[in-house]
Chain A
Amino acid sequence: MTAAVPLLPPADWRDFLALTKPRVMTLVVFTGLCGMLAAPAVDGRGIDPVIGFTAILCIALAAGAAGALNQWYEADIDALMRRTAKRPLPDGRMDRQSALHFGVGLGAFSVILMGLAVNLVSAAILATSILFYVLVYTVWLKRRTPQNIVIGGAAGAFPPLIGWAAATGSVALLPLLLFLLVFLWTPPHFWALALFVKTDYANAGVPMLPVVAGERVTRRQIGLYTIPMAIVAVAPWPLGLTGWFYGAVSIAMTAAFAWMAVVVATRRQQPDDAMKPEKLLFKFSILYLFGMFGALVVDRWVLA
Chain B
Amino acid sequence: MTPEEEDLIRRRQRSRSIVVAVLLAALVVLIFAITLSRIRLAMT
Contact = CB atoms under 8 A, between A and B. Distances in A.
Interface of A: 9-13, 45, 48-51, 54, 57, 117
Interface residues of B, number: 17
Contact of A13 (B16, B33, B37, B38): B16
A10 B13 contact: yes
B41 interface: yes
B34 A51 contact: yes
B9 A10 contact: yes
Given A9-B8, A9-B9, A50 B15 contact: no
Q: In the A-B complex, list the 9 residue pairs whose CB atoms are closest, starting with the nearest.
A: A50-B37, A13-B19, A10-B12, A50-B33, A48-B37, A117-B34, A9-B9, A13-B16, A9-B8
27 contacts: A9-B5, A9-B9, A10-B9, A10-B12, A10-B16, A11-B12, A12-B12, A12-B15, A12-B16, A13-B15, A13-B16, A13-B19, A45-B44, A48-B37, A48-B40, A48-B41, A49-B37, A50-B34, A50-B36, A50-B37, A51-B34, A51-B37, A51-B41, A54-B30, A54-B34, A57-B30, A117-B34
A9 B37 contact: no
Contacts of B30: 54, 57
A48 B5 CA distance: 49
Q: Which DSSP category, helix, strand, loop or mixed, fits chain B's interface? A: helix
Contacts of A48: 37, 40-41
Contacts of B44: 45
A95 B24 CA distance: 24
Nearest to B20: A13
Interface string B22-44: 00000000100110111011001
A117 B30 CA distance: 10
A54 B26 CA distance: 12
Question: Which of A13, A45, A57 has the most chain B CB atoms closer than 10 A to its own CB?
Answer: A13
Contacts of A54: 30, 34
